Amino acid sequence: MKRLLATAGLLAGLGAAMACWNGATTIDGITTADALAIRAAVQSRLEALSNDDAARAFAPAMAEQHASTGNPGKSPNRARQPYNPLHRYRRALFAEPRISAGKAIQMARITDEASHVWVAIFRLRQERGKHWKIDACQLLRTDIVAI
């Protein structure tokens, strides 16, 4: 009887894990698949900025953002300037993303090259029900210095 209960518990746990893995589970209204896709869009931008790849850094941006800022590939320094704390960042710690009114918010704690800590707030939305695209990023400097 104990083995039967243990096996049933194990199978129930595996079923729940598979549901999470497949993106079927929602936490606070966001699926696991969406949470992973949101973080991947932000992580892709951070990695591209740190590698001086302006074209890739702004590929996840919304089409309207490209129209207002021009082609980042032609002027990478101009496109990167507002994001200097993200350029060659040392560490990024992500919070769980949240969705409100069809837009996602992904917050991250960023430690820059000089060990200053910033809070980055990325606003994303799904483009035509497919990929999550970065709509805006706001950086807030803290008084914290990482050691």
Quote the pLDDT of residue 109. Answer: 96
**How many Cβ atoms from other residues are within 10 Å of residue 74's Cβ?**
10
Task: Tell me: pLDDT of 16 over 70.
Answer: no
pLDDT tens track for 39-93: 999 999 999 888 888 787 776 565 555 455 555 555 455 455 667 888 888 999 9
Run of H or E including 107: strand 103-111
* Residue ranges of domains in the chain: 29-145
Q: Which helix or strand (DSSP H or E) is residue 8 part of?
A: helix 2-21
Cα–Cα distance for residue pair 99/35, rounded to 1 Å: 10
Per-residue H/E/C for 15-62:
HHHHHHHCCCCEECCEEHHHHHHHHHHHHHHHHHHHCCCHHHHCCCEC
Which residues partner with 80 through β-bridges?
none
Distance between CA atoms of 93 and 139, rounded to whole angstroms?
Answer: 14
Which pLDDT score is estimated for 86?
86
Residue 96 pLDDT exceeds 50: yes
pLDDT at 32: 92
Of 52 and 13, the structure prediction assigns the larger pLDDT to 52
CATH topology of domain 29-145: Nuclear Transport Factor 2; Chain: A, (3.10.450)
Report the predicted TM-score, pTM, of the whole model to 2 decimal places.
0.69
